[in-house]
Amino acid sequence: MDVNMMKMVNYIKGLEFLHRQSPSVVRGLLTLYNHQRHAIEEKARRITYYQDLAEPMLIASGYALVIDLAKQLMDEDPATLNEFLKLIGAEAETVVMPPPPPALVKEFMEAIPPGTVYRPKDTLAEAIHVFANMPQGGRYLLVIDENKTLKGMISVNDFDNNIDKIKAMKKNTYLIDLDFLRKDPKTLSGDAPMDEARALFKKSADEKRKITKILVVDNEERPIGYLSEEGISKWAATSMEE
């Protein structure tokens, strides 16, 4: 088999591979090749079938044009491009992989336990019932308005630390009027990177104000979940596997 015939065989193999992987890329390759050739030579033969590209690729200018067009069409698919280049005997492109996007808090948060979200004009009696029957994993009672925006939070510790005061209060007192309702609690955005969350947990431990769980909110300050120490640990373990 002479050299040109061997090249033709390899070019057809490469083009067939490309067609199997992405017929749309091959159609684009044909369209752009015909357009470019016609611009250079008005009477250039129009190529209809991708296999017929192998012959003009025997000429250096045709070979270079096909490679250049393939690179344009597959700039977001370097793996397929490099396999095609390898099959046709061309030099592979150096692939610079972009850094992976940062892990976000919302990917590792846990759900808000049912029965722990109330409205501003719900009463102390209901709060007492919540803390007496707090579901497993629950630590907070959340107060939200009609738009589901966070208006305040009461933790298990807040409740315990004010137990004598609670015993003396009227049980129909509105939650929004409780002086131990934290109206500006620390929260994390669901779109915050996990690095930021870990730093917050570490800072609280260093300052002897250790937190084990923090409320996660969306861009409109609506509660969407909690991030716990377990979530931080899961993220750290996942990062090590990558």
> Which tens digit of pLDDT belongs to each residue from 69-107?
999 999 888 889 999 999 999 988 776 667 888 999 999
Alpha-carbon span 53 to 2, nearest angstrom? 19
Query: Token pair of 3, please?
Result: 């050299």
- β pairing state of 117-118 and 223-228: unpaired
- Mean pLDDT, residues 154-182 taken together: 95
Domain boundaries of the chain, sorted by first residue: 3-87, 105-241
Give, in order, the Cα–Cα distances in Å from 35 to each of 18, 67, 71, 198, 212: 20, 15, 17, 55, 63
**pLDDT for position 242:** 58
Position 32 pLDDT exceeds 90: yes
Q: In what order do the strands lie in the sheet with 140-144?
A: 117-118, 140-144, 150-155
pLDDT at res. 197? 94
Task: Look at residue 41 in the predicted model and tell me its pLDDT.
Answer: 78
CA 50 to CA 27: how far, in whole Å? 8
Question: What pLDDT, on a 0 to 100 scale, did the predictor assign at position 100?
Answer: 83
Q: Render pLDDT for 104-136 as a digit per residue (tens, 0 to 9).
A: 999 999 999 888 999 999 999 999 999 999 877
Superfamily (CATH H level) for 105-241: CBS-domain (3.10.580.10)
Decide: helix, strand or coil at residue 114.
coil
Measured between alpha carbons, how far is 74 from 22 in angstroms, rounded to an integer? 10
pLDDT at 98: 75
Confidence of residue 188 (pLDDT cuts 50, 70, 90): very high
Give first-to-last CA distance, the chain, whole Å: 47
Res 97: pLDDT: 66
Instruction: Check residue 94 and give its pLDDT.
Output: 73
Tokens of 19: 């067609």
| pLDDT of the residue at 70 | 92
pLDDT at 43 over 90: no
Is residue 26 classed as helix, strand or coil in its secondary structure? helix
* pTM, two decimal places: 0.60
The pLDDT confidence band at residue 51, using thresholds 50, 70 and 90, is very high
* pLDDT at residue 194 is higher than 80: yes
Average pLDDT over residues 144-166: 94
The residue among 6, 10, 2 whose CA lies nearest residue 66 is 10
Residue 1 has pLDDT above 80, yes or no: no
Residue with the bigger pLDDT between 242 and 73: it is: 73
The answer on pLDDT for 176 being more than 90 is yes
pLDDT at 226 over 80: yes
What average pLDDT does range 185-212 have in this prediction? 89
**Residue 44: its pLDDT value, please?**
76
